Chains A and B, each alone.
Chain A
Amino acid sequence: MKLDRIAILSWVVLIFTVPWVFFENESRIIGLPSWALYAIITAAVYSIILFVVIEKTWQKEETDE
């Protein structure tokens, strides 16, 4: 994966971490407002994606070293 793609992927996911589509506090899931749960889950997804992206892209740097 190239670095420009990482930047695009990173920002696409970051934009999705904002709870854009929630307008009212419609429901509660495991003690959290649904939009708050969405924010936590997307933050966790971002962390996982970062982990994978670093694993994939930095490998080349390691072999170059």
Chain B
Amino acid sequence: MNNTALLSSGGIIILCAYILSLIGIGWLGKKAQKEQSLADFYLAGRGMGFFVLFLTLYATQYSGNTLVGFAGRAYREGYLALVLITFLSAAVGAFAFYGPRLYRLSKKYKFITPSDYIHHRYKYNKLTYMSAAICLVALTNYILTNLKAIGFIVVAVTGGAIPFAYGIIALSLVMVIYESLGGMRSVAWTDAIQGTILLVGVVTIFITINIEYGGFEFIYEHLQKVDPNKISAPTPTQKMSWFSTICLGFFGISLYPHAIQRIYSAKKIKTLKRSIQIMAFMPLITVLFMVFVGLTALALVPGLDRQASEGATLLVLKQLAERGAIGTGMMILFLSATIAAIMSTVDSSLLSMSSIVTKDFYTRLKPGKNQAQLTQIGKGISWAIMAFSVYLAIVLPQTIWRLLEIKLELLIQISPAIFIGLYNSKVKGKSIFYGMLVGTTFSLVVMVANKLGLSVPAKPMGIHAGVWGLLINSCTIYFFEKIQKPKE
């Protein structure tokens, strides 16, 4: 990627105006605040209607990784990247399964965080803290990778006029300001705008590419000439990996704390139902379209290395601009969509992390504060988390970044606590805790060893380490349940 700015100074000003307007939305969120309580700040008073709930679910689930990373993956893997559609659909499948029951319990027992449910169900402190810690680590990794993506996009948009670090600092400041103004309400309202831009941006680029290049026929014919391996049917190991990816989506993506908190935030079960029903179709519109963008980049400019392929989306945009197929307006739209996707994910993760630190750790370790005090503490924690994340995003060495890819492998280990807990009243917290501990340790050891370059595969027999970890986790729970029974 060369240093030519993707936008002119006029375009950059429009983009900046859009980003700054989000602070105005945050202020409106503050005005709509009904009370100084954790439920009002972190869950918008549990009163989210269909329109906002759907768009915030959508904007949160589809991060910058969807717009940038998925196209890059399609560039490198070809049609195999289609698994990403089912990967995200599977998460919606999990919502369908546990959503209604968890929603009803959250209303009844006033849950704020996922660990609130785990504590309510098992009443086993070690398990509560461990699940909260896993959520925090997964969200930290999520925030850091997205902040880094923001820095790269700012550099690409401005041609390096705004350096990487300044880009991260400026956008993080905007996010933390509107988040601490109105909490979930501000985040969800900005998500509604960002989700709309994201959807319009993705659909527009898909249609434009179809008109300009000729769609799937164009891709197939070019790939047959330049890289026929990318159209081959998956090998048996790749099929296992495909299935394993679906498992990660079902048991991992569905348990992102900010996703669970959106379930808690729904006004009515009907609102949640409609939102999740429509979410079931969003992978077909969003992920399929971005895979298509990545495949088009491959057909147009084959031979890029891994790092360059991450810029597949921007590459296609540049090509379209050079052909005169898109003007400044559409370029602004798509870049806004990309930045919106990243911001909506970071702000939701930040809010979720702040709630976990405040509710799962601070409140349990230092009880006695009232709701207004806790809300203020939560806001302070948001600023501290964001400052620390920005610092890490700027200074972390490349070797550590590889470890930050470990997210879902950890999060998936919480799934037995939720799924078994909701549908089996007999399983004990101790069994779930040891299962989580063993599964997490196994996954971490395998993943870290792999990332550090040891000869340990990240996917033994095509199955992700996290999925093996989940299997071991479940077997450990079964074992502990068996050995505890005779004592009763």
Are A and B a genuine interacting pair, yes or no?
Answer: yes
A residues touching B (Cβ–Cβ < 8 Å)? Answer: 3-4, 6-7, 10, 14-15, 17-20, 22-25, 28, 30-33, 35-36, 39-40, 42-44, 46-47, 50-51, 53-55, 57-58, 61-62, 64-65
The chain A residue sitting closest to B215, CB to CB, is: A31
- CB within 8 Å of A: which of B370-405? none
User: Would you call A35 and B93 a contact (CB within 8 A)?
Assistant: no
Residue of A nearest to B79 (CB): A36
Q: How far is the CB of A34 from chain B (nearest CB, A)?
A: 8
Given contacts A20-B239, A50-B93, contact A39 B273 (CB under 8 A): no
Q: Quick check: which of B80-88, B120-128, B426-434, B444-452 contacts chain A, the rest being far away? A: B80-88
**How many angstroms from the CA of A25 to the CA of B246 in the assembled complex?**
23
Give which listed residue, A15, A22, A39, contacts B243 with CB less than 8 A. A15
Contact pick for B97, options A3, A15, A28, A39, CB 8 Å = A3
Asked if residues B89 and A65 are in contact (CB atoms below 8 Å), the reply is no
Q: What's the nearest-Cβ distance from chain B to residue A60, in Å?
A: 8
Closest Cβ–Cβ distance, residue A15 to chain B (whole Å): 7
11 A–B pairs (Cβ distance < 8 Å), ordered by A: A6-B96, A14-B90, A14-B250, A17-B86, A19-B233, A22-B233, A24-B233, A30-B217, A43-B85, A54-B273, A55-B277
Interface contact B220-A28, CB-CB below 8 Å: yes
Contact check, B273 vs A18: say whether CB atoms are below 8 A apart: no
Across-interface contacts of A30 in B (CB, < 8 A): 216-217
Q: Distance (Å) between the CB of B331 and the closest chain A CB?
A: 27
Residues of B within 8 A of A65 (CB): 104, 268-269
Nearest-Cβ distance from residue B196 to partner chain A, whole angstroms: 21
Size class of B's contact patch?
A: 35 or more
Q: CB-nearest residue of chain B relative to A36?
A: B79
Q: Nearest A residue to B217 by beta-carbon distance?
A: A31
B270 within 8 A of A: yes
Q: Answer whether A25 and B277 are a contact pair too, CB < 8 Å, given A3-B423, A62-B270.
A: no
Q: Is the CB of B220 within 8 A of A61?
A: no
Whether the Cβ atoms of B232 and A25 lie closer than 8 Å is yes
Q: Distance (Å) between the CB of B265 and the closest chain A CB?
A: 16
In the assembled complex, which residues on chain B have CB atoms less than 8 Å from the CB atom of A57?
96, 100
Checking B101, B233, B246 against A17 with a beta-carbon cut-off of 8 angstroms, the contacting residue is B246
If A32-B220, A58-B273, A65-B268 touch, whether A47 touches B280 (CB-CB below 8 Å) is yes
Taking the complex as formed, is B51 at the interface, i.e. its CB lies under 8 A from any CB of chain A?
no
Taking a contact as CB atoms under 8 Å apart, the answer to whether B96 and A54 are in contact is: yes
Q: Within the complex, which residue of B83, B89, B239 is in contact with A50, where a contact is CB–CB below 8 Å?
A: B89
Chain B 99-120 residues near chain A, CB threshold 8 A: 99-101, 103-104
How far apart sit A35 and B220, CA to CA, in the bound complex (Å)? 13
User: CB distance B104 to A43 under 8 Å?
Assistant: no
CA distance A22 to B288 in the complex (A): 20
Most buried by A among B79, B270, B283: B79
B303 within 8 A of A: no
Known A24-B233, A35-B233; contact A14-B79, beta-carbon cutoff 8 A: no
CB contact under 8 A between A18 and B284, given known A39-B86, A58-B269: no
**Which residues in chain B, 447-470, are within 8 Å of chain A measured between CB atoms?**
none
Contacting residues, chain A, for B239 (C-beta < 8 A): 18-20
Cβ of B406 under 8 Å from chain A: no
A50 touches B92 (CB 8 A): yes
Q: Which of A15, A36, A53, A64 contacts B96 (CB 8 A)?
A: A53
* Cross-chain contact of A40 among B85, B99, B217, B273 (Cβ < 8 A): B85
